[in-house]
Chain A
Amino acid sequence: MQQSDIKNKNNSADISSAEKSTENSASLELRNVCRGFGDEWSREEVISDFSLSINPGELTVLVGPSGCGKTTLVNMLAGFDKPDTGQVLLNEKLITGPGMDRMVVFQETALMPWLTAYQNVVFGPKIRNDLPGRELKKKADYLFEKVGLVEFKDKYPIQLSGGMQRRAELARAMINDPLVMIMDEPFRGLDAMSRELMQEFFVRLFEENRRTNIFVTSEIDEAIFLADRLIVLSNRPTSVRKIIDIKLPRPRELNVLSSTEAYKYKRDAMELLHEEALKNFKRSTPKADS
């Protein structure tokens, strides 16, 4: 009894802190979205009749078997791509194209190689010209301190390690004060050690202001460690296989993954993912199976 009380308290504290920052947070919704590729005669539906709503101030993690259309979903949320039918909504308003209310951190680094880390970070405000020079510098300096790259401000991306590039990219996204952050397998390609460090760094960053965040990954541990809500996706055509609310306490440290709760979540999700992967496998090798 007592324990559940404490939990409730924790939860309510979480909610109130989430509510505090809802004005710079937003909800996203996908309504009956369909998207296919190819010509009429060789068309493949990647996503058909997909609906999902993403709550404000939550870290929603999408996991799914590889090639299941996660990046297509991200592109539509970001506005780089449009659904064939259905709607993508940000705060109940139709998304028609890319915008700075939604910042994307890409799979491979998208820092511009011809700009220094600092120039990359201030790129957005500079071209929009919406911040006076001194304030921009202050904000950028603050963010560089936050991501721990102060000494590397004037380095070009190629001089930074993979993890540093990722942090610079986070700073570049955050300086635009987006309502939503969309991360498409952002830590892919990092070695295991820096990946863990980045996960811990990122979870702290998120817990600080609880900005609505969509995080796509194919790593189940990463998903459970970060998520408020875990969306397990099915194979193509993509649908929501299951939504798992991850109720691990926050603030989180990596050792939370060794708790029995985390293990249970992991087992559930793995089972579903395994089923989905198996379907894919069977489909691609029909003869051997029958």
Chain B
Amino acid sequence: MTDAVQSKSISSVSKKKSKLEKMLTNKSLWRGVVALIGAIIFWEVCSQSKVWFGVEIPWIGKVPPPTEVIAAWQKILHYTGYWESWYLSTGRVFAGFTIAMIIGIPFGLLLAVNRYFRDVFFPPFEILRPIPPLAWVPASIIFWPTTEMSIAFVTFLGAFFTIVINVLGGARSIDVQYLRAAQSMGANQWDLFWKVILPGTLPSIWTGAAVGMGITWEVVLASEMISGGGQQGGGGLGFFIWSSYMGGTVAQVIVGMISIGIAGYLSSSFIRYLGVITMPWRRLF
């Protein structure tokens, strides 16, 4: 009891600090910043002085230095095609991802709770799952009427299998005691599903979503490169990288790569944020 009271007073003290102050005194934040700056300096130095002690630096020596990349970036910022690419790729990722969530979560839950459903749908699912999403690209270009739809389909597949497997695993590993406790308090199958299995699976749903989101970005970019980015302006970040490469501007390729890194980071932060909102009990770990 006293422990709890103490921890309560401690947390109320720490709440008095403003959020900004908290962020600025956060040691892990500073470590991150230092690491990032360190990496950039290392990159700059390595790619500027291509030869060290008579030995050529194998990889970084061939990469344009950060200063050059930033210059290229500054130029591109005024180019609407670049921003359209951001917009297009993000749209594709979220379209595929959202559809994968909408279909994948109920599908995984059904696999977990219904034996008949599992008997029928699990074997074909398991046969299709090992096929890499990119192997679907040619087939889906033939199958779907527009490039946009085939990209969306391949993106969907990328997230779908991961989400389903995570949901299935999560739902199957719910502690039987929760189900028993609920049952003995008079819960029927419907209650068990909505009040126990679904909230119990939420952590796995968000794990699946975070992994699925990563895969979705990979798939979108690759399929943009393969398909030529569709007819719309910009063509997506994947196409942006590809066309920069074809045009021979390596600095611009790296701008595209970093853009993808940032986009991926933002999307997974978004997923984590959703996880925190929907699982308040997890914030306390």
> A residues bordering B, Cβ < 8 Å?
78-80, 98-100, 102-104, 106, 108, 110, 112-115, 123-124, 127-128, 152, 156-159, 161, 172, 176
Which B residues are CB-close (under 8 A) to A158?
Answer: 281, 284-285
With A100-B186, A123-B195, A127-B191 already in contact, the answer to whether A110 and B180 are too (CB < 8 A) is yes
A11 to chain B, nearest CB (A): 34
- Which residue on chain A has the smallest CB distance to residue B176? A80
Q: Say yes or no: B284 contacts A106, CB within 8 Å.
A: no
Q: Say yes or no: A98 contacts B183, CB within 8 Å.
A: yes
Q: How far is the CA of A104 from the CA of B199 in the complex (A)?
A: 22
Q: How far is the CA of A102 from the CA of B185 in the complex (A)?
A: 9
Which one, A99, A100, A110, contacts B178 given CB within 8 A? A110
A-B contact pairs, 27 of them (CB 8 A): A78-B180, A80-B183, A80-B184, A98-B184, A99-B184, A99-B186, A100-B186, A102-B184, A104-B180, A110-B181, A112-B181, A112-B182, A112-B196, A115-B199, A123-B185, A123-B195, A124-B186, A127-B185, A127-B186, A127-B187, A127-B195, A156-B284, A158-B285, A159-B284, A161-B4, A172-B185, A176-B186
With A100-B185, A100-B186, A127-B185 already in contact, the answer to whether A80 and B180 are too (CB < 8 A) is yes
Which one, A102, A106, A113, A159, contacts B181 given CB within 8 A? A106
Q: Say yes or no: A100 contacts B184, CB within 8 Å.
A: yes
Which B residues are CB-close (under 8 A) to A112?
Answer: 178, 181-182, 196, 199-200
Which one, B3, B175, B186, B200, contacts A114 given CB within 8 A? B200
Which B residues are CB-close (under 8 A) to A114?
Answer: 199-200, 202, 279, 281
Number of A-B contacts (CB under 8 A): 71
* Interface pairs A-B: 5 shortest CB-CB: A124-B185, A110-B177, A98-B184, A114-B199, A156-B281
B257-285 vs A, CB cutoff 8 Å, 1 = contact: the mask equals 00000000000000000000001110011
B1-39 vs A, CB cutoff 8 Å, 1 = contact: the mask equals 001100000000000000000000000000000000000
Which one, A103, A157, A161, contacts B184 given CB within 8 A? A103
Classify the interface of chain B: helix, strand, loop or mixed.
helix
Which one, B184, B186, B187, B281, contacts A113 given CB within 8 A? B281
Q: Say yes or no: B4 contacts A152, CB within 8 Å.
A: yes
- Which residue on chain B has the smallest CB distance to residue A182? B184
B157-195 vs A, CB cutoff 8 Å, 1 = contact: the mask equals 000000000000000000101101111111100010001
B239 to chain A, nearest CB (A): 43
Q: How far is the CA of A159 from the CA of B285 in the complex (A)?
A: 9
Q: Say yes or no: A128 contacts B181, CB within 8 Å.
A: no
With A110-B178, A112-B178, A158-B285 already in contact, the answer to whether A78 and B184 are too (CB < 8 A) is yes
What would 6 more interface pairs be, CB under 8 Å, given A112-B196, A114-B200, A127-B187? A80-B184, A100-B185, A110-B181, A128-B185, A128-B186, A159-B284
- Which residue on chain A has the smallest CB distance to residue B175? A110
Which B residues are CB-close (under 8 A) to A100?
Answer: 184-186
Q: How far is the CA of A156 from the CA of B283 in the complex (A)?
A: 10
B183 to chain A, nearest CB (A): 5
Which B residues are CB-close (under 8 A) to A98?
Answer: 180, 183-184
Q: How far is the CA of A127 from the CA of B182 in the complex (A)?
A: 9
Residue of B4, B186, B200, B284 most packed against chain A (CB within 10 A): B186
- Which residue on chain B has the smallest CB distance to residue A116? B281
Q: How far is the CA of A128 from the CA of B284 in the complex (A)?
A: 30
Q: How far is the CA of A115 from the CA of B178 in the complex (A)?
A: 12
B190 to chain A, nearest CB (A): 9
Which B residues are CB-close (under 8 A) to A157?
Answer: 281
A208 to chain B, nearest CB (A): 22
Q: How far is the CA of A99 from the CA of B184 in the complex (A)?
A: 5
- Which residue on chain B has the smallest CB distance to residue A158? B284
- Which residue on chain A has the smallest CB distance to residue B196? A112
Q: How far is the CA of A270 from the CA of B196 in the complex (A)?
A: 42
Q: How far is the CA of A156 from the CA of B202 in the complex (A)?
A: 16
Q: Say yes or no: A176 contacts B185, CB within 8 Å.
A: yes
- Which residue on chain A has the smallest CB distance to residue B190? A127
Q: Say yes or no: B181 contacts A104, CB within 8 Å.
A: yes
Which A residues are CB-close (under 8 A) to B178?
Answer: 110, 112
Q: Say yes or no: A104 contacts B182, CB within 8 Å.
A: no
B91 to chain A, nearest CB (A): 33
Which A residues are CB-close (under 8 A) to B181?
Answer: 104, 106, 110, 112, 172
- Which residue on chain A has the smallest CB distance to residue B200? A114
B225 to chain A, nearest CB (A): 42
Q: How far is the CA of A105 from the CA of B166 in the complex (A)?
A: 30
A211 to chain B, nearest CB (A): 16
A192 to chain B, nearest CB (A): 17
Residue of B191, B195, B202, B281 most packed against chain A (CB within 10 A): B281
Which B residues are CB-close (under 8 A) to A78?
Answer: 180, 184
B203 to chain A, nearest CB (A): 9
Which B residues are CB-close (under 8 A) to A161?
Answer: 3-4
